[in-house]
Amino acid sequence: MSSTGAPADFGRPSGSTSGTTSRWEEFGIRYGGALSGIISLTIGFAIWEFVAQFIVRDKLFLVAPSAIVVRFFELWKTGDIQNHMLVSGLEFVLGFLAAAVVGIAVGLLMGTSARSRAALSPWVSAIYATPLVALSPLLILWFGLGLMSKVVVVFAVAVFPILVNTQTGIESVDEGLLETARAFGAKQRQLFTKVLLPGAVPFIVAGLRLGIGRGLVGVVVGELFGARAGVGYLITVSSQIFDMGALFAAALILAIVGVISTEAIRYIERKVAPWRWA
């Protein structure tokens, strides 16, 4: 024990300076997660390439990443892949944005109003349990073969995870925080904006991330029936002619869009709820 009574610094390596340590810590906080993700993806694709090249050589069963990249640029040169990405991207954005607005709004309503919760819960439970993907042909029959039917499919499969998570987030807020706010004279509006909504942010973000995955599935399912373009249409056509390179390229496009969309949601969360990242 030192004569000054100050606690020993066990977290700092011997011989290092505080400035150097803080810079490394800041670097790790900012870029450590991204670097780990890049390393993980690199190792995964390297293993995939090795297996496809030397173990499973049947290209109808497994296509190497290098061959997928080559096929992607072949489709890019012809302009086909850009058209498919544009069509599917528009369907996904419109459907997911509608699902996010409706899901958050209805989830907040059900979480804060017992009467609304009692009236809407049976409908939400029944429709959520219904395999909407299986009803996609019916939705396409109702709304036609154009853009609207695909948007409706994306909306239908993405809205309920957002709604349920938002409601759960509101209901999971610590009652002690509400009582404390009431003790300090907070009104209903202040309770909602200062306690309930901030407390529900992690659940809302989780619902949005789930909605992204389900929405991308909805894009593919919607384009499996009667579509003329889109990534799902490309997957269908490629499987029929055994063009596995194009099929895997389309699947990777969806995976990349999912990763980018999820990171965008996390970025928005950092801006909306910076205290969670302090």
pLDDT digit string (tens) for 213-253?
Answer: 888 888 888 887 767 888 888 888 888 888 888 888 888 88
pLDDT averaged over every residue in the chain: 81
Domain ranges of the chain: 16-57, 65-277
Q: What is the pLDDT of residue 132?
A: 72
Is 212's pLDDT higher than 70? yes
Is 12's pLDDT higher than 50? no
The distance from CA 244 to its chain's CA centroid, rounded to whole angstroms, is 26
Is 10's pLDDT higher than 50? no
- Average pLDDT, integer, range 128-145: 78
Q: Are 167 and 111 in contact (CB under 8 A)?
A: yes
Q: What is the pLDDT of residues 35-62, one digit of tens each?
A: 777 888 889 888 988 888 888 777 777 8
Name the CATH superfamily, with its identifier, for domain 65-277. Answer: MetI-like (1.10.3720.10)
How far apart CA 213 and CA 160 sit, in angstroms, is 12
Residue with tokens 């999912």: 258
Q: What is the pLDDT of residue 63?
A: 85
Is 205's pLDDT higher than 60? yes
Q: Are 150 and 227 in contact (CB under 8 A)?
A: yes
Q: What is the pLDDT of residue 27?
A: 57
Is 24's pLDDT higher than 70? no
Q: What is the pLDDT of residue 18?
A: 47
Q: Are 132 and 157 in contact (CB under 8 A)?
A: yes
Cα distances (Å, whole numbers) of residue 221 to 16, 130, 191, 234, 259: 57, 15, 41, 12, 19
Q: Name the residue with higher pLDDT: 240 or 145.
A: 240
Q: What is the pLDDT of residue 13?
A: 46
Cα distances (Å, whole numbers) of residue 273 to 99, 194, 258: 21, 12, 22
Of 23-32, 53-62, 158-167, 220-229, give the lowest mean pLDDT range: 23-32
At residue 105 the predicted structure's pLDDT band, cuts being 50, 70 and 90, is very high
Is 93's pLDDT higher than 90? yes
The 3 state secondary structure assigned to 5-25 is CCCCCCCCCCCCCHHHHHHHH
Is 201's pLDDT higher than 80? yes
DSSP state of 146: S
